[in-house]
Chain A
Amino acid sequence: MERVQKYLNVILNSLKVLIPQRDRMQLDWRRFLGENITYSGWIMAWLAILTWITFSYTTGQLQSAPTGTIVVLMIWGLTVAMTMLAELQKRHTDWTLWMKGNLYNSITNVQVSLLLVLLILAAFRGFYSYAYTNASFADAVPPTEREYETTVEAVAEAGGPNLSRMPANLEFVSPTESITNRAGVVVRETAYILNEDKTVVTVENRDIHTGATWGAVIDNFSNLLIFRYKQPNLVWRVYAVLIFIAVFGVASTFMYRSERLRSSRLLSGVSLFWITSPIIIYQFLLGAGEGGAEAFFGRVSPDNTLGGFLFSVILALMAIVISFPLGVLLALGRRSEVRGIPWWITYPVAGLGMVYLLFTNTPTLLEGARSNFGILLAYWPILIPVVAYGFQRTWEGNVVAAFSTIFIEVWRGIPFITVLFMSIILFPIFLPEGWEVLNMTRVVAGSAMFSAAYLAENVRGGLQAIPRGQYEAADSLGLSNFTKYRLIILPQAIRLVIPAIVGQFIGLFKDTSLVYLVGLFDLLAVANTIASQPDWLGIRTEPYIFLLALYFVCSSAMAWYSRRLERQLGVGQR
């Protein structure tokens, strides 16, 4: 109650500005015009155009949506008047000061603000009518059940309209039968379609609403979220996982907060569990034992059961967890400063290799060459010393750094979609014959490799940010290299890059939507199947809008969490 009173006071105080105090008014019109309008011909032309646009748009809106526009215009006029009067009397309140700074700080902005509010209003109104007033929330449309053939006379006898004067092949919508939706808009009507000979008409019931068909999303909600896991023998596993995460999450929050457990073994065990939990959860969801989906806890194959949102989340989580150690190793490898292979070993080996291959491989290649390009290619061993020189020049003989750098750059240089195709198509070729690899495993492996390359660059950034003194301090304590990194460097570096890793996880989570292109059933793939369901033939927009909203909410929440984490960890504040 007090709050309301406080706000009322603020409003009343602001409105007081509207009662001008003559003695405080100072307005030099000539100066005002000179400073704001007439100082440049360009400005005058611009203001004229802008005023014309604002005026014509406002009048247009007044005709199409009078109430909203009038309300906006009134509020706009009032606030502009308040701001101007407050400015003239030098009697600003918090509100008028804010409006002066942020909405009405020039003549241009006074108009732009009005235009934008009207535009936002129009966009909102359009979306509202599409998504609610004109939308259908009905479960399914059964048009085929009521479709039958009849004659013009039969329609007239049954009390329908007289169709005998209708031109052929035209549709005639009669409001004799109609169903309204929750918002009171007619969503289903009877349509009479005349055939060419005009004797036979098809009577068809169909949806005529102009807005969204949310039924497609509502009907497929569980499909979109957990796909085939809605089967009774599988769905309990999802619930179990959710309950477990909730209970164990609360419990571990208490553990992390407790003073007694600080830096105990139990706590590091808990952390380790959380880090590896995606893999454990994945295995739990797949189950164990005989029977597949028929049995209570039967082992199922992820390729034809896992799908939808569940799939996207699990894929992204597994990929990031697996890529983490790989990424750290690659980052350390790229930064490694171990003494490299000296040039007096590299160059002779490269030279000997070149000579050997020139005498053994080139002649056979020359034999088979059919073009000048083929002849040129046959002399490829000449490139070996060039590569050796580049290797010595860039990495000073450091094999580990060279391998890490090349690995990272290659994976970062190719698009994710090609990585996915590669993992699906090429994975089996890399493994011995007869090894059956699930598509899920292939995609996880590919995503993890891809993600590791990006993660390595993030971790490298963290490593670079650690002051040299930390390395030197560790060295002077006599710590071994391994201990130095485990206890001193990596904890600090990883703490620095946690926000970046969360950001990368968001990216990976969004990127997993690509797997539908290689035939796995992620959210997008399930959304695409809706368009081919007989009840929802061709409906794509509504599922896509739902997906956009879902991804937006999830990604924004994670981004928000990442920013909070950044503040908590004090990144950038030291």
Chain B
Amino acid sequence: MAGEIPPGPPSMGQESIPFWRDGRVLGVLAQIAFVIGFIIVAGWFVSNILNNISSLGSSQFICQDGGFSYRCAFDFMEADAQFDISETPIDYDPSDSYWRALGVGALNTVKVTVLGIIFATILGTLVGIARLSPNWLVSRIALWYVDLLRNTPLVLQLIFLYFSVLLGLPQIDSAIQPLGLPMFISQRGVNLPSFEFMPSFAILMAFIILGIIQAQVLWVILGRQEELTGKESNRLTWAIISFIVVIGIGWIVSSNETNQAVLTPASMRIREFDDFEQIVLNRLDVNQLNDIASDLEEGLITQDQVDEAALKICVLRDAPSETNFTSQLRRADIPYEVKRTTRQDQSTSSFIEGDCEAYVGPTAVIAAERDAMDNIIAATPEDDVVNGGAATMLQLTENPIRLSIPRIEGFNFVGGWKMTAEFTAILLGLILNTAASIAEIVRAGIQSVSKGQTEAARALGLSESQRLRLVILPQALKVIIPPQTSQYLNLAKNSSLALAVAYPDFWNLGNTTINQSGRSIQIILLVMVFYLSISLSVSGVLNWYNRRNQLQER
């Protein structure tokens, strides 16, 4: 049979196809047609844009020298922004440029996105696990939560949170303190305690690094010994203990290390910190500082008297020495009055003139000032020296990390970490909404691991935590991570809804810039680039992850 087939040229059939039916030719032709069509449409748009811009006047593309050029499209960004921003992670002033204003917005977006992702992941995982809870009520409640959050618009949730929940909270003077914790929830937002890092934290940091290194070394040495002797030596415990010891030494060393001092008039005879207390007590003629409050209530002394007796201190504005000294005074309940000066020499002169009784600053500066003051005093007649002769210097101590607890001072909270109502609304809204989506993803991921895997792990005698860590999670994560990443992306994009609650994120400030400068094209271009670079970089990472994971599949 095979021999009867005439051996024809294999390309016969292809030759007979006319070119207008050849797929390859048609493909190229179609593409050329597409390109031409695209160029025509795009050209029409571009010509319209150019026409419109020139008819709008050259205001959009005006240069600093008054000329007109597309090169100057972003020149206006150098000008003063002239609008105020309520939340600024970096220094900002209305006289700064639009660039800086948008930079503040970008940082605000990043801040809310990063925090949102962290907490949405935690909450979403919890809700997802609750969806699979053996307790019917728990799984129902989790289901209601997911349904309610996913079937209503995010922007509605946001403005409900902002206008109805957060702005409906009590005023600042009757702020809620949940469970008596040092945190305050009020109309102005949430105030949480925070850590403040003092300059001496650098020394502690060095010790932390040292501790990590030596714990690692100990770990390795003990490990070798274990291999040699064959005895278990509890090396994790030893490593942790040695690490803690090193950090403890570091804490003591950096606490003793002071670089701040208080300057007081010699007449006050201050030798140690407690002397401040004695001075105030003598002035008010009471035995204990605690008595002041009760005496005030009984009317034995007036508020004016207390104010007069209060310690008058001078500090440089925003200097770390201020927080150090005032927090010590507060802890001792000593009434004080702070006069903030913007320049060093102003403090000196007001000290000499008797405006302040104590003057806080870096040790070196204070020592120099004291010498200078001694010279002044030595050169002046006795009765001209208001503060009574030369000054004494008191070294201050401080811990490298200090807990800063919020408290009400006047009509505002001071200290701690301030979360404004706007920030709280957008953060909480994004967390709650994204957590609902993440919960479903986590649930699907856990359910995707077959029951046999659990049973196999049990049969191998793995403990509960080993089973989760080594068997279930690695398999579930493969299913969870890709959709989870797209949820993170959604969160980043949804943060642009901050506009609805007046949180100054990138898009909100971009919008303000458009309204103020009228340069809509440039700003929208910037906004697109900003969000696209976030989206594309994250999806790039996601694609890389997927490819890596697919290779491992059987």
Stretch at the interface among B117-125, B216-224, B494-502: B494-502
Within 8 Å of chain B (Cβ to Cβ): is A141? no
One digit per residue, 1 when the CB lies within 8 angstroms of any chain B CB and 0 when it does not, for chain A 123-154 equals 00000000000000000000000000000000
Name B91-113 residues within 8 Å CB distance of A: none
Known A339-B24, A418-B531, A551-B151: A400·B30 in contact at CB below 8 Å: yes
Q: Are A510 and B30 in contact (CB under 8 A)?
A: no
In contact, A430 and B48 (Cβ under 8 angstroms): yes
Q: Is the CB of B514 within 8 A of A425?
A: yes
Closest to B63 in A: A368
Contact A426:B136 (CB < 8 A) given known A414-B532, A544-B156, A556-B151: no
> Is A513 in contact with B155, judged by CB distance below 8 angstroms?
yes
Q: Mark A486-524, 1 if CB is under 8 A from B, else 0.
A: 000000000000000000001000110110010000001
Indicate if the CB atoms of A413 and B535 lie closer than 8 Å: yes
Q: How far is the CA of A414 from the CA of B529 in the complex (A)?
A: 9
B156 and A415 contacting across the interface, CB-CB below 8 Å: no
**Are the C-beta atoms of B52 and A428 separated by less than 8 Å?**
yes
Is residue A484 contacting chain B, with contact meaning CB distance below 8 A? no
CA distance A432 to B46 in the complex (A): 10
Interface residue? B28 (CB, 8 A): yes
Contact at B532–A413, with CB atoms within 8 Å? yes
Q: Tell yes or no: A50 within 8 A of B by CB.
A: no
A541 contacts B164, CB within 8 Å? yes
Option from B69, B160, B511 in Cβ contact (under 8 Å) with A548: B160
Selected contact of B520 from candidates A425, A431, A513, CB within 8 Å? A425
Contact B135 A417 (CB under 8 A): no
CB contact under 8 A between A510 and B152, given known A102-B135, A421-B511: yes
Please pick, from A113, A416, A540, A547, the residue contacting B135 in the complex, using a CB distance under 8 A. Answer: A113
Which residues 526-549 of A sit at the B interface, judged by CB distance below 8 A? 540-541, 544-545, 547-548
Known: A116-B137, A417-B507. A556 touches B147 (CB 8 A): yes
Given contacts A415-B494, A421-B511, A556-B151, contact A517 B500 (CB under 8 A): yes
Min C-beta distance of A540 to chain B, whole Å: 5
Count chain A CB atoms within 10 A of each CB in B28, B35, B156 and give the residue with the most: B156
**In B452-491, which residues have CB < 8 Å from any A CB?**
none
**In the complex where A368-B71, A431-B48 touch, is A548 in contact with B24 (Cβ < 8 A)?**
no
Residues of B within 8 Å of A506, CB to CB, are 151
Provide the bound-state CA to CA distance between A414 and B164, in Å: 29
Which residues of A are found within 8 Å of B51, using beta-carbon distances? 432-433
8 A Cβ contacts from A379-426 to B: 398-400, 403, 409-410, 412-418, 421-422, 425-426
Cβ contacts under 8 Å, B157 to chain A: 548
Min C-beta distance of A560 to chain B, whole Å: 10
Q: A414-B531, A418-B528, A513-B156 are in contact. Are A102 and B134 (CB under 8 A)?
A: yes
Decide if B155 touches A418 in the complex (CB within 8 Å): no
Contact B135 A338 (CB under 8 A): no
Q: How far is the CA of A403 from the CA of B160 in the complex (A)?
A: 40
Contact A410 B532 (CB under 8 A): yes
Do B163 and A514 touch (CB < 8 A)?
no
Chain B, 34-48, contact with A by CB distance < 8 Å: what is the 0/1 string?
110010000001001
The answer to whether A544 touches B138 (Cβ under 8 A) is no
Residue in A closest to B137 when the chains form the complex, CB atoms = A116
Determine which of B27, B55, B71, B168 lies in contact with A541 in the assembled complex, contact meaning CB atoms within 8 Å: B168
Assess the B24–A101 pair: CB atoms within 8 A: no
Does B267 sit at the interface, judged by CB under 8 A? no
How many Å lie between the Cα of A188 and that of B536 in the bound state?
A: 58
- Quick one: given A105-B134, A341-B31, are A415 and B496 in contact (CB under 8 Å)? yes
Query: Contacts A112-B138, A415-B507 hold; do A511 and B153 have CB atoms under 8 A apart?
Result: yes
Partner of B524, one of A106, A340, A422, A430: A422
- B27 close to A551 (CB less than 8 A): no
Q: Is B235 an interface residue (CB 8 A)?
A: no
Q: Which of chain A's residues have a CB closer than 8 A to the CB of B535?
A: 409, 412-414
CB distance from A37 to the nearest CB of B (A): 17
8 A Cβ contacts from B503-554 to A: 507, 511, 514, 520-521, 524, 527-528, 531-532, 534-536, 539
Asked if B48 contacts A432 (CB within 8 A), the reply is yes
User: Which residues from chain A sit less than 8 Å from chain B, CB to CB?
Assistant: 101-103, 105-106, 109, 112-113, 116-117, 120, 338-341, 365, 368, 398-400, 403, 409-410, 412-418, 421-422, 425-426, 428-433, 506, 510-511, 513-514, 517, 524, 540-541, 544-545, 547-548, 551-552, 555-556, 559
Q: Apart from A112-B137, A417-B497, A422-B524, what are 4 other A-B pairs with CB-CB below 8 Å?
A: A116-B138, A412-B535, A415-B493, A548-B156
